[in-house]
Amino acid sequence: MFPRTLHALAGLALCIALAGCSGNYKFDDGDYRPLGTPQILNRGN
């Protein structure tokens, strides 16, 4: 029974890891920018 539980937990961890890797690029809207991209500031122009 232990190997079945271990495989289930490993599969769940794999699904969570794969979902987390694509999480940053799921949304598409006007305010979207990837993490680490500097924000452009237009001051007084």
pLDDT in tens, the chain (45 residues): 578 999 999 999 998 888 776 655 556 666 666 666 566 666 665
- What's the pLDDT at 28? 62
Model's pTM, two decimal places? Answer: 0.44
24, 35 contact by CB (below 8 A): yes
* 3-state class (DSSP) for residue 39: coil
User: Distance from first CA to last CA of the chain, Å, rounded?
Assistant: 68
C-alpha pair distances (Å), 21 with each of 25, 29, 31, 41, 45: 9, 19, 20, 29, 38
* Phi, then psi, of 29 in degrees rounded to 5: -145, 180
